[in-house]
Amino acid sequence: MSAQANVYTSVSAQAWFTDKCKIATGNTAVTFNVDLIYPTATGNLYGNSVSVPANYTQTVFVGVGNKLTVSGSNFTAQEIGTTSSGSYAVRQP
């Protein structure tokens, strides 16, 4: 199944519908974290917030059903990938 390709300019505990996210920053850096949403695994998928430099594009794994938060300004976060390939990985801590 193909991605919905939603594009966000503000992301706070946003339920993610695809397995990956493309974060594109403007003139400021941002940080992001992925909250695991599965009964046996909770917390940030990456352990700590991850920084994305200014004027940069980075593709990151989110996992279908997990919640993404991006802190900062002047960025876009786009759903990419598929809605099924993250189904298994979302269960992994």
Residue spans per domain, the chain: 7-91
pTM for the full predicted model: 0.82
The residue among 32, 34, 2 whose CA lies nearest residue 15 is: 34
List pLDDT tens digits, range 72-83. Answer: 999 999 999 887
List pLDDT tens digits, range 26-79. Answer: 999 999 999 988 766 678 889 899 999 999 999 999 988 899 999 999 999 999
* CATH class of segment(s) 7-91: mainly beta
**DSSP secondary structure letter of residue 47:** S
To which H or E segment does residue 52 belong? Answer: strand 50-52
